[in-house]
Chains A and B, each alone.
Chain A
Amino acid sequence: MGGAKVAIQTMVALKQVSVVYGEQHALRRVNLQVELGEFVFLVGATGAGKSTLFKLLYGALRPTEGEVWVLGQPLHQLKPRELPFLRRRMGIVPQHYPLLSHKTVWENIAYGLRAIGYNERAVRERVAKVLALVGLNLQARQMPHQLSGGEAQRAAIARAIANNPPLLIADEPTANLDPDTSWEIIDLLMHINRRGATVIVSTHNRTIVDRACQRVVAIDRGKIISDVPRGGYPIELDRLHATVLL
């Protein structure tokens, strides 16, 4: 097993985690701990390793070395047949939200619940609640192509939290959104956090990170270079970018 079992108070724990693709290190000896109820921004430039780290968190990727604990479960050792049951306790918003184009917003959210065995009555209840939470009541019968970018992202978030998971991870949820809409999405995620869920969001949007004033973990070339409990976009990343530009 290696290492003591992580208490459930700790939602996510990465211990000396490395991921290597061929000769290239996507992550190098990363240590990270996220506690119950935290809101964490994971920031870094494109290719820094944010998406790799997210894939580790929902078990789409296994670490080359180190330990990944999520909700008290050792993901690095979890059997494939056990993974779905862990994912039911997590909300996952992938970078490219695959709303199903032939289903309405309501059906998109219901689809996820039905796939994990909810009965129709529970589906109706959960979908209504979650639509109200993300503010998409009026768009419930609309098709994805009729939604704005922000509404589509809200629908993807609604689907992720429909099962009322204690942990929500969102990979670049503000990508391709204008500043106002980006802030609306972050505001929604912070609202979900205040209701009790632990939220981890990856982004490289400096404005929203500065404005939200939450814990910020900066990653660069596969290494965590700063971890600030409450702050803005890390100055270390700015310095690195400036060096690269020079």
Chain B
Amino acid sequence: MIDRVHFVLQETWAILRSSRAMQAAAISTAAIALILLGAASMALSKLDAIARALPNEFEASVFMQMSTPREQTLQFKAALETMPAIAQVTLTTREEAWEAEKQKLASEVNLADLPNPLPDKLTVRVHDPAQLPAVAEQIAQSPLVDEVIDSRKELQTVLSVARLVRWIALAIGGLLLVSALMLIYNSVRLTINARQNEVQVMALVGATLRSIRLPFVLEGMTQGALGGVVAALLVLLGASALSDYMVRQWAFLRDTPSGMSPILLITSLPSLGALMGGLCAWWATRRYVRI
């Protein structure tokens, strides 16, 4: 068994060392396709995380005037709770909000000596999302209220961007993926052609079809996996650089939740590449390696 595995690995290594230009072309095309796929996955995952972090469609955030005393805020809360459309009202006091903010930014800035700039906030949840605009409008008319944020618009924006990214990525990524698969297929086909003598010798001495085909399948898997490794590293480097740049430009992005984990990306792209490369190579050997 060990001897057989050793023979197959030796053959695979011999294949990979031959026709290096073709190997490089197949690996780089696979890498480009997987970069696009990886980048799109990361972007979608981030957008999804942002969408999930936003208040859902049943909620609106009501920010009170800074001058509104706590007692009036509590009376206002009680009044809101009597409205039939409203299911629940939760108060986040300005002290609680400021404390949370100080803790969140503790590593970057000391806010301890600054006066609290935050107002009290009521989170209003309705029974039916369709009632939210009317309720929000009614609440906004109160002189005690500074601003009502109905999160549906932001949510819709995030979701439409996510949809756009998904379709663009699917279209371009799909095209590149097909071309990468065709290139791996072609590369394996050319290798089979170049190693016709070896294939013929193995067939004549009685090697099984599986052991003749396996080195070529491993070639395809290696090309796909290497393309995946290159893609994962480039996507991570790119995402990190882009994220730093965007946070410098738009400070609010600092608080957005993180998307796909780098470990997941580093493991999934090479695995996906290996799987696709292996399938392509298997297809090529089914067609061109016969005994």
Q: B4 contacts which chain A residues (CB < 8 A)?
A: 117
- Beta-carbon contact of B3 and A81 below 8 Å: no
Chain B's interface: helix, strand, loop or mixed, by majority? Answer: helix
Q: Contacts A114-B7, A118-B3 hold; do A98 and B200 have CB atoms under 8 A apart?
A: yes
A120 adjacent to chain B (CB < 8 Å): yes
- Select the stretch in B23-31, B207-215, B271-279 that faces chain A: B207-215
B203 to chain A, nearest CB (A): 8
Taking a contact as CB atoms under 8 Å apart, the answer to whether B206 and A98 are in contact is no
Contact with B along A111-133 (1 / 0, CB 8 A): 11111111110000000000000
Interface residues of B in 192-246 (CB under 8 A from A): 197-198, 200-209, 211-212
Taking A80-B291, A84-B291 as contacts, is the C-beta distance between A58 and B204 under 8 angstroms? yes
Stretch in A39-47, A85-93, A181-189 with 4+ CB within 8 Å of B: A85-93
Contact B3 A112 (CB under 8 A): no
A112 to B205, Cβ gap below 8 A? Answer: yes
Q: Given the interface contacts A114-B7, A115-B7, A117-B4, does A100 sit within 8 Å of B206 by beta carbon?
A: no
User: Residues 39-79 of chain B: 1 if any A CB is under 8 Å from the residue's CB, otherwise 0?
Assistant: 00000000000000000000000000000000000000000
**Known contacts A117-B4, A118-B3: does B208 contact A81 (CB below 8 Å)?**
yes
Instruction: Give the complex CA separation of A112 and B206 in angstroms.
Output: 9
B3 to A84, Cβ gap below 8 A? no
* Interface pair B201/A111, CB less than 8 Å apart: yes
Given the known interface contacts A118-B3, A120-B3, the answer about A112 and B209 at a Cβ–Cβ threshold of 8 Å is no
How many B residues have CB within 8 A of the partner chain? 18
A-B pairs with CB below 8 Å: how many?
Answer: 66
Q: Which residues from A are CB-within-8-Å of B206?
A: 84-90, 116, 163
CA distance A90 to B203 in the complex (A): 12
Nearest-Cβ distance from residue B193 to partner chain A, whole angstroms = 14
Collect the chain A residues with CB atoms within 8 Å of residue B198's CB.
Answer: 100, 111
For residue A94, which residues in chain B have a CB less than 8 angstroms away from its CB?
A: 200, 204
Q: How many angstroms from the CA of A86 to the CA of B204 in the assembled complex?
A: 10
List, in ascending order, chain A residues with CB within 8 A of B208's CB. 81, 84
Residue of A nearest to B7 (CB): A114
A159 proximal to B (CB < 8 A): yes
The answer to whether B205 and A115 have CB atoms under 8 Å apart is: yes
**Contact assessment for B197 and A83 in the assembled complex, using a CB-CB cutoff below 8 Å:** no
| Minimum distance in angstroms from A95 CB to a CB of chain B | 12
A163:B205 contact, CB within 8 angstroms:
yes
- Is there contact, CB below 8 Å, between B291 and A83? yes
- Evaluate contact between A92 and B291: CB separation under 8 angstroms: no
Contact of A100 with B201 in the complex, beta carbons under 8 Å = yes
Assess whether B207 is in contact with A116, with CB atoms less than 8 Å apart: yes
| Inter-chain contacts of A120 with B (CB < 8 A) | 3
Q: Which residue of B lies closest to A58 (CB)?
A: B204
Could you tell me the distance between the alpha carbons of A101 and B212 in the complex, rounded to whole angstroms? 19
Interface residues of A in 148-175 (CB under 8 A from B): 159-160, 163
CA–CA, A42 and B212, complex, Å: 31
Q: Give the contacting residue for A92; candidates B7, B204, B209; CB below 8 A.
A: B204
The docked-state distance in angstroms from the alpha carbon of A116 to that of B201 is 11
- Chain B residue, CB-CB nearest to A102: B14
Tell me the complex Cα distance, A94–B4, Å. Answer: 25
Q: In the assembled complex, which residues on chain A have CB atoms less than 8 Å from the CB atom of B203? A: 84, 87
Contact A84/B201 with A117-B3, A120-B3 known, Cβ cut-off 8 Å: no
Query: Are B197 and A98 in contact (CB-based, < 8 A)?
Result: yes
**Interface centre among A114, A118, A119, A160, by most B CB within 10 Å?**
A114
**Who on chain A is nearest to B207 by CB?**
A115
B204 CB contacts on chain A under 8 angstroms:
58, 87, 92, 94, 112, 160
A44 → chain B closest CB, angstroms: 23
Q: Which residue of chain A has the shortest Cβ distance to B14 in the bound complex?
A: A102
Distance in angstroms between the alpha carbons of A163 and B208 in the assembled complex: 15
Who on chain A is nearest to B290 by CB? Answer: A80
In the bound complex, how far is the Cα of B202 from the Cα of A24, in angstroms?
A: 31
A117-B3, A118-B3 are known contacts. Are A88 and B201 too (CB-CB below 8 A)?
no
Chain B, residues 166-209, CB within 8 Å of chain A (1/0): the string is 00000000000000000000000000000001101111111111
- Top 10 A-B pairs ranked by shortest CB distance? A88-B206, A87-B206, A112-B205, A115-B207, A98-B197, A84-B206, A115-B202, A119-B3, A114-B7, A92-B204
A-B contact pairs, 14 of them (CB 8 A): A58-B204, A60-B291, A80-B209, A81-B209, A92-B205, A94-B200, A98-B200, A111-B198, A113-B205, A114-B3, A115-B201, A116-B206, A120-B3, A159-B201
